């Protein structure tokens, strides 16, 4: 069985296992204050061209989202997101569990627009009953989105401008950041993303690491107390250096970007083949997640050899399929899938 | 610098790194539903002699405590604990962040007694204003405690009986469970602990793993929805097999118990030496955490060669020191410390 | 200025002020345990034909909603409601502040259907990723709704059946219950509502009282600890008898139903006049809240003499108006409004 | 049965019932934005000599405490209080339910000292593990305390200075403020209290009103969003004018201070008699709550004619009794109690 279910079906890049083995008997202090974490943070600040950014290492995506968002909002504020945003759909209400509403805006492709945000703010400003509604407190976007799409530089710049105009911190969920940056459709750099947001994270779990996400806080108003917030949410790893060591390896010699290329290339191969064979897509293919529409018959047939998820029915005969490639996907497996299509 | 700061200064047992390396390219489903997690759970059920227990793998101690406790309590209930309990002192209010009060009982050695619990329950039962007080909803104990002490079988049995009489789930924090079981002062087995509690966890982070805690739920009323609870609290690892693989290694050939012995032996060596040299202890040495009282002069001298924590002043000239041994502590380093004493 | 803004623009029925005055120097115990609360609860149990129901008196609607809902749900569960439901729109995220997501279903007239609820449950049951989504834990409906509409006996029975089939407690927000029962369009009695739900409340604030809502819990599984829950949420009035005295007066001689008639009759007069003059309605008029569509010109003209709210634009020239009548609305004022239309 | 259980056994001052009756048919807007609330706020600002203070009207004490405290703290912060503080003992964990720990300091007489606060702050500053502990975020004191005692001007000034030095907002719970100000032992004015704190409240429920507490926010950093916070916590009364009208009456012609005198005088009469008869007190009598120690035999005898609470045993034969006087206590009833002693 060849697995295209997700980009976390395998382990990590071999360099990480090697580094963990080499450093195994080192004695260091805990909780992310060790030399590896300090060094990895430095490497990330450099990669983002943000020498004053605070960098923190957390374990997983849901944990990161809830820790960051609850750190920013006042009790009566909520977070704008796409209705398809991960925090609104697939984190079992983790944001609400910290006391805050997800203010979901309709989205067809996983993205929201600067105009939607501005409209929401204006609507609240002009609402006589505004005090009775959850106050807009920040904006959350995923890049790439859960639909595999990307905000362009123009789109992200517009969102950033609206957020700054209304003093709304902009938080970018980069669980798959590497795959966005590696895409041919991408016109943004990590440094530009750091410029345009107030806080974002660089996903490790899905991009090369065993686990781990690096939060980069560029807005100085959001820095205070973040380590206390992490500890309280169970997001401060005792052997914190496990995260430092991994991110050191990921950011050595541009490895984070290079390993992401493999996923991009595999996705491009697969996209080209799917198009050639006449498949339609639910969302325009842009990164390592592809959503072709297939007959249920075809799906059943493919499932004999391949593991993948489906995302609901299009009509009685057809469903949405999701194929995901990763930093470890073998091209020969993509070819096998192509032959089977 | 030789480090006696904690039992999480190093990495893990070498077998874990080897297993992670060997399984690195396996493709598995995520979120703890893979064969490694299923197998590790089976091994743990066997070690606990509880074939119907639910076993879940989480990443760290604070995360585990907050996930378990908030899963059990109703909103207006709190958790009884020792005033020195980890949840009450060193988790940045993580229990309160889920809405619940820690009902701290005074403790001199990290332990609370069955009589204290019974008194607290009776006090509430007889209180005319009971509805205005936080309702006692469960009991939390650490074994070993934060002071390095152990509940005996008799003590734990008495607590268990009180809890069952009053329908209070008993949760045992076993972050250092292995070091308790490996102690010469221990008269309990893991199976007995499983019998006497409703839910407990087997600490991996401090005992052999890179990270990870295995929650064992034996009370069937506490099982429902626990995976949803984990996901919501950011405690469900995407590449869940990282935890399964580690616990498989820890529970192969009684390894969890055998590696803990090293910490116990090192602690016993050090205890004997400290006693011989006339040092008094803040808490009776029972496990891998030792709390001798030393002059500040001596502390300063030792710090040139050794890293360790101090825990407050006894008087103007003396402070409480903490030395911690672990599964990886080298006996030659203990000997160096002994010579320096 | 004649005010049609809401049904809480005035004080209360005169009998309440008289009773408060007569009982002012009585000495009673606090927190709802006094003879007036006990008696009012008895009267309500009788009116509902539910001799075993628990009856609790709270101060206001948002408080009641958040206290009831957070009492029922486990942490990872959410509450199904109409997207226009008060808890989802106009309570500043009070449900989320207790940790729970509002699972909003689309609604055009303030109501949701049994089929929508069943679909939502089935969708979750069949979702491979269900553990990653907020679990459906209960259903909230308003009767009358925020759009002034009513569930018929058939509709409520269908909802009740779905809820019972899936073990979902059904909570009915009766902030305007009296106005529902007094409507000519109503085919339900209070006793039938008590039968078909698990918990509901009888609104006093908008129907005759200075303030106060009476929660009726008929499902015995939802009774335990409710007073602790009230105290914790700041919903237990020290001089609780203020609530008991008011509900005694409201339920003497069917007063609650009789005073509601005035609002119904005024609304019917106004509806007839609006229809006659050719106005269209946003929602079918059924109770004391009417939502005619008017030109902005007409609105501006009416505002010289009358206070009322608007609820957004229909097009460039027309907006939705809301006129609300109450137990104290004078028919002469309705006539003045009719002449001005 | 003559009742000395609490200061909320009766209704309100007659002027309030009269005002509610006279204004009953007035039509006003809701939620505290009506002319009565605006006027009462103005009167209170004047009485506090704080023209820029924000004044908000809430319904009860627990509600006020949880709304104010959760509005001020960041998620990982807690509130310093006396271990006997109402928020720590008799509000069913309402502060924890908003996510925050009560950082209780030991107190023998209901009060904490500036030195205790400073020590707690210094201890945290010097704690290597400070990030793992709940951060001190504000200070809560009751005036009068739950033990009936008062902070003197000197004591409150010292606390205020420590709080300002460490940027900790100081919140004073004035549920019984009037009885403090009316005491012969009091050397503070309301204006001085307003000067020395950042936010406090003027209790109405226990001092003359049917219900209601007036929050006075003098620190401008604490003002933003408070109405949203109120709405979210269920603390914004729909017919808000009920609160405005009551506080208008309480602050007309110094009535709040004058009615409090009655409680003070009754308490002084009773204190003198108790002392004369040789009773010892648990806490030094300073306001309207007296805590004499009596034999259980005497208590049983008194209970035939008088209602009052006991607060635990002193020894096998004696218990702590609490007698409370109020704005409505009749001196003849105090005389009856004195004769019975």
Residues 6+ apart with CB under 8 A from B309: B5, B6, B321, B322, D128
Residues β-bridged to residue D139? D80, D170
Distance CA B241, CA C328 (A): 66
Report the Cα–Cα distance between both ends of chain B, in Å, rounded. 15
CA A108 to centroid of chain Cα atoms: 18
Residues C248, C34 contacting (CB under 8 angstroms)? no
Closest residue of A to C310, CA-based?
Answer: A128
Residues B224, A84 contacting (CB under 8 angstroms)? no
> Phi/psi class of residue D31: alpha, beta or left (left: φ > 0; alpha: ψ in -120 to 50)?
left
Distance CA C299, CA C302 (A): 5
Distance CA B262, CA B2 (A): 17
Which of D75, D99, D227 lies closest to A71 in CB terms? D75
Distance CA B302, CA D179 (A): 59
Burial class (CB in 10 A: 0-12, 13-18, 19+), A189: middle
Burial class (CB in 10 A: 0-12, 13-18, 19+), B339: exposed
Distance CA A25, CA A326 (A): 31
Residue D128 confidence (pLDDT): 87
In this predicted structure, the answer to whether residue B321 has a pLDDT above a threshold of 90 is yes
Closest residue of D to A137, CA-based?
Answer: D225
pLDDT tens for C280-323 read 999 999 999 999 999 999 999 999 999 999 988 999 999 999 99
Which of C14, C25, C60 lies closest to D234 in CB terms? C60
pLDDT tens for A241-262 read 999 999 999 999 999 999 999 9
The parts of chain C modelled with pLDDT lower than 50 are none
Residue C233 confidence (pLDDT): 98
Which of A75, A91, A133 lies closest to C132 in CB terms? A91
Asked whether the beta carbons of residue C70 and residue B75 sit closer than 8 angstroms, the reply is yes
Residues 6+ apart with CB under 8 A from B67: A234, B58, B215, B229, B230, B233, B235
Residues D227, D197 contacting (CB under 8 angstroms)? no
Chain B residues with CB inside 8 Å of D312's CB?
none
In this predicted structure, the answer to whether residue B219 has a pLDDT above a threshold of 90 is yes
Q: Kindly indicate the confidence band of residue B46, based on its pLDDT and cuts at 50, 70 and 90.
A: very high
Distance CA D113, CA A242 (A): 45
Q: Kindly indicate the confidence band of residue D183, based on its pLDDT and cuts at 50, 70 and 90.
A: very high
**Closest to B79 measured CA to CA, from B144, B158, B171, B197:** B171
Chain C residues with CB inside 8 Å of D228's CB?
92
Average pLDDT score, chain D: 97
Half-sphere exposure of C167 (CA within 13 A, CB side): 3
Which of C93, C101, C131 lies closest to A76 in CB terms? C93
A neighbour chains, 3+ CB pairs within 8 Å: B, C, D
- A174 preceded by a cis bond (ω within 30 of 0): no
Burial class (CB in 10 A: 0-12, 13-18, 19+), A11: buried
Which of B89, B101, B133 lies closest to D96 in CB terms? B101
Closest residue of B to C101, CA-based?
Answer: B232
For residue A41, give how far its alpha carbon lies from the nearest alpha carbon of chain D (Å).
Answer: 19
Chain C residues with CB inside 8 Å of D20's CB?
11, 17, 20, 210
Strands C102-105 and C77-82: parallel
**Closest to B12 measured CA to CA, from A163, A36, C175, A239:** A239
- Chain D interface, best mutation among A136, A228, A235, A236, by max D CB count within 10 A: A228
In this predicted structure, the answer to whether residue A149 has a pLDDT above a threshold of 90 is yes
Residue C206 confidence (pLDDT): 98
Residues A100, A69 contacting (CB under 8 angstroms)? yes
What's the mean pLDDT in B281-292?
A: 98
In this predicted structure, the answer to whether residue D338 has a pLDDT above a threshold of 90 is yes
> Phi/psi class of residue B23: alpha, beta or left (left: φ > 0; alpha: ψ in -120 to 50)?
alpha
Distance CA D145, CA D214 (A): 18
Distance CA C211, CA C245 (A): 11
Distance CA C43, CA C252 (A): 8
Residue D190 confidence (pLDDT): 98
Residue A178 confidence (pLDDT): 98
Residue A7, SS3 per DSSP: coil
Instruction: For Cα atoms D176, D179, D181, give the angle at the middle one, nearest 5 degrees.
Output: 110
In this predicted structure, the answer to whether residue B109 has a pLDDT above a threshold of 90 is yes
Residues C147, C123 contacting (CB under 8 angstroms)? no
- Residues from B contacting D (CB-CB < 8 Å) are 75-76, 78, 89-93, 96-102, 128-129, 131-135, 309
Chain D residues with CB inside 8 Å of C259's CB?
none
Q: Kindly indicate the confidence band of residue B188, based on its pLDDT and cuts at 50, 70 and 90.
A: very high
For residue C271, give how far its alpha carbon lies from the nearest alpha carbon of chain B (Å).
Answer: 45
In this predicted structure, the answer to whether residue B6 has a pLDDT above a threshold of 90 is yes
Distance CA C204, CA C57 (A): 10
Query: D103 or A313: which carries more pLDDT confidence?
Result: D103
Residue C77 confidence (pLDDT): 98
Residue B289, SS3 per DSSP: strand
Residue A270, SS3 per DSSP: helix
Distance CA C147, CA C90 (A): 13
ipTM topping 0.90: yes
In this predicted structure, the answer to whether residue B128 has a pLDDT above a threshold of 90 is no
Asked whether the beta carbons of residue C98 and residue B76 sit closer than 8 angstroms, the reply is no
Residues C242, C81 contacting (CB under 8 angstroms)? no
Phi, psi of C140 (to 5 degrees): -115, 130
How many B-C residue pairs are in contact by the CB < 8 A criterion?
Answer: 41
Query: B325 or B313: which carries more pLDDT confidence?
Result: B325
What's the mean pLDDT in A218-244?
A: 98
Distance CA D194, CA D217 (A): 9
- In this structure, chain D runs to a length of 341
Residue A224: count other Cβ atoms within 10 Å of its Cβ.
13
Q: Kindly indicate the confidence band of residue B50, based on its pLDDT and cuts at 50, 70 and 90.
A: very high
Distance CA B215, CA B218 (A): 10
pLDDT tens for B72-98 read 999 999 999 999 999 999 999 999 999
Residues C261, C181 contacting (CB under 8 angstroms)? no
Residue C122 confidence (pLDDT): 97
- In this structure, chain B runs to a length of 341
Distance CA B186, CA B156 (A): 12
Residue C128 confidence (pLDDT): 87
Q: Looking at residue D220, what DSSP letter applies?
A: G
pLDDT tens for C203-247 read 999 999 999 999 999 999 999 999 999 999 999 999 999 999 999
For residue A229, give how far its alpha carbon lies from the nearest alpha carbon of chain C (Å).
Answer: 17
Residue A312 confidence (pLDDT): 87
In this predicted structure, the answer to whether residue D312 has a pLDDT above a threshold of 90 is no
Residue C226 confidence (pLDDT): 98
Distance CA B294, CA B300 (A): 10
Entry pTM: 0.97
Distance CA D244, CA D246 (A): 5
Residue B161 confidence (pLDDT): 98
Distance CA B35, CA B12 (A): 22
Residues B155, B139 contacting (CB under 8 angstroms)? no
Tell me what percent of the residues of chain B surpass a pLDDT of 90: 98
Asked whether the beta carbons of residue A78 and residue C93 sit closer than 8 angstroms, the reply is yes
Residues C100, C73 contacting (CB under 8 angstroms)? yes
For residue B1, give how far its alpha carbon lies from the nearest alpha carbon of chain A (Å).
Answer: 9
Asked whether the beta carbons of residue B62 and residue A23 sit closer than 8 angstroms, the reply is no
């Amino acid at each position: 069985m060849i697995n295209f279910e997700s980009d976390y079906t395998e382990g990590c890049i071999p360099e990480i296992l090697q580094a963990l083995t080499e450093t195994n008997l080192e004695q260091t202090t805990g909780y992310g204050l060790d030399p590896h974490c300090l060094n990895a943070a430095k490497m990330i600040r450099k990669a983002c061209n943000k020498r004053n950014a605070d960098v923190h290492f957390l374990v997983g995506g849901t944990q990161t989202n809830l820790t960051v968002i609850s750190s920013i909002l006042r009790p009566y504020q909520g977070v704008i997101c796409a209705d398809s945003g991960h925090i609104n759909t697939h984190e079992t209400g983790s944001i609400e569990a910290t006391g805050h509403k997800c203010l979901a805006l309709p989205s067809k492709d996983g993205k929201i627009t600067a105009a939607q945000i501005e409209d929401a703010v204006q609507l609240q400003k002009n609402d006589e009953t505004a005090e009775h509604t959850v106050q807009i407190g920040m904006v959350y976007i995923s890049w790439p989105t859960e639909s595999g799409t990307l905000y362009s530089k123009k789109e992200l710049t517009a969102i950033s401008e609206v957020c700054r105009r209304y003093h709304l911190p902009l938080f970018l969920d980069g669980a798959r950041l590497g795959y966005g940056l590696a895409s041919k459709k991408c016109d943004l750099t990590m440094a530009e993303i750091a410029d345009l947001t107030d806080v974002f994270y660089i996903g490790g779990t899905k991009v090369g690491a065993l686990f781990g996400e690096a939060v980069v806080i560029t807005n100085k108003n959001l820095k205070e107390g973040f380590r206390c917030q992490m500890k309280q949410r169970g997001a401060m790893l005792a052997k914190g250096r496990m995260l430092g060591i991994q991110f050191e390896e990921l950011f050595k010699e541009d490895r984070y970007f290079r390993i992401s290329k493999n996923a991009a290339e595999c996705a491009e191969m697969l996209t080209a083949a799917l198009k050639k064979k006449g498949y339609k897509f639910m969302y325009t293919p842009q990164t390592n997640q592809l959503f072709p529409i297939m007959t249920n018959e075809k799906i059943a047939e493919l499932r004999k050899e391949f593991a993948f998820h489906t995302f609901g029915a299009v009509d009685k005969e057809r469903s949405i399929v999701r194929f995901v490639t990763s930093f470890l996907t073998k091209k020969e497996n993509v070819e096998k899938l192509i032959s089977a299509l």
